[in-house]
């Protein structure tokens, strides 16, 4: 009985070995240049946001220089098409600097100007901005870099109204989120590296006890980015 068991186990080992080896060969290298499979990308740069708002007696138009941060996580369905979830932020530069200086003042030491640099993206998350959270797709003109690409996404857009006195954060009471659209055209210089011109639009109108409020925002951002696929 022990001999039979040993033969069976040996047979299973011989059968499973090539299967295991084959499975190992099929494991996808995330930097193999193949656009299919899991995709993760991050881009950063600068831009400008134009905001038109109606906030009771405080209404008007505003132009803000911004710091752009765009991230996406998705899946490549072919070597020319990727679908993803998107977070695109056009952060008001002057507000980001104000919050960064507040951190330095709170620490009481000037060395924080340098030490705190890695935390800028985290600070930006809580800084006034125009942003869009949604789903979209990237289309590449060719199956391999270098080539042109285009992005299109839609979702929820929010904006920190510069005239919002009650809650001047990026989420004014979570009541002012409206439809948003994100689009981009760019060039993948080499595999995994790209530059792009990104455009973002959103608007919303809502009623409060004091009256009607509304905002419309348009942002243009020039970014350089890295995408892992």
Q: How many CB atoms lie within 10 A of CB 76?
A: 20
The domain defined by 32-228 folds into: Porin (2.40.160)
Q: Is the pLDDT of residue 17 over 90?
A: no
- Whose CA is closest to 200, among 131, 127, 121? 131
Give the start-to-end residue ranges of the domains of the chain: 32-228
Cα 86 to Cα 102: distance, rounded to the nearest angstrom: 29
| pLDDT, average across residues 44-57 | 88
28-32, 33-37, 169-173, 193-197: lowest mean pLDDT where?
A: 169-173
Three-state SS at 77: coil
pTM of the model: 0.76
pLDDT single digits (tens) 87-128: 999 999 988 888 777 766 655 555 555 555 666 677 777 788
Rg over CA atoms, the chain:
24
Q: Is the pLDDT of residue 28 over 70?
A: no
Q: Is the pLDDT of residue 155 over 90?
A: yes
Q: Which residues pair with 206 in a beta bridge?
A: 213
29-33, 95-99, 181-185, 199-203: lowest mean pLDDT where?
A: 29-33
Q: Which residues pair with 140 in a beta bridge?
A: 149
> Any idea what the Cα angle at residue 222 is, between residues 141 and 90, rounded to 5°?
120
């Amino acid at each position: 009985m022990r001999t039979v068991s040993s033969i069976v186990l040996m047979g299973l080992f011989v059968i499973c070995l090539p299967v295991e080896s084959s499975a190992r060969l099929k494991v996808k290298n995330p930097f193999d240049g193949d656009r299919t499979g899991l995709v993760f990308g991050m881009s950063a740069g600068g831009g400008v946001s134009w905001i038109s708002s109606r906030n009771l007696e405080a209404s008007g138009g505003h132009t803000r220089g911004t710091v752009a941060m765009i991230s996406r996580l998705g899946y490549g369905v072919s070597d020319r098409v990727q679908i993803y979830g998107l977070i695109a932020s056009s952060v008001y530069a002057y507000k980001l600097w104000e919050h960064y200086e507040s951190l330095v003042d709170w620490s009481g030491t000037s060395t924080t100007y340098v030490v705190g640099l890695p935390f800028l993206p985290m600070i930006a998350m809580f800084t006034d901005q125009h942003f869009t959270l949604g789903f979209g797709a990237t289309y590449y003109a060719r199956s391999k870099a270098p080539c042109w690409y285009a992005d299109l996404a839609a979702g929820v857009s929010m904006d920190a109204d510069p005239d919002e006195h009650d809650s001047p954060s990026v989420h004014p009471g979570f009541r002012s989120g409206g439809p948003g659209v994100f689009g981009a055209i760019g060039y993948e210089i080499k595999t995994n590296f790209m530059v792009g011109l990104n455009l973002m639009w959103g608007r919303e109108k809502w009623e409060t006890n004091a009256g009607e409020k509304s905002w419309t925002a348009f942002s243009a951002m020039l970014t350089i980015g890295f995408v892992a696929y």
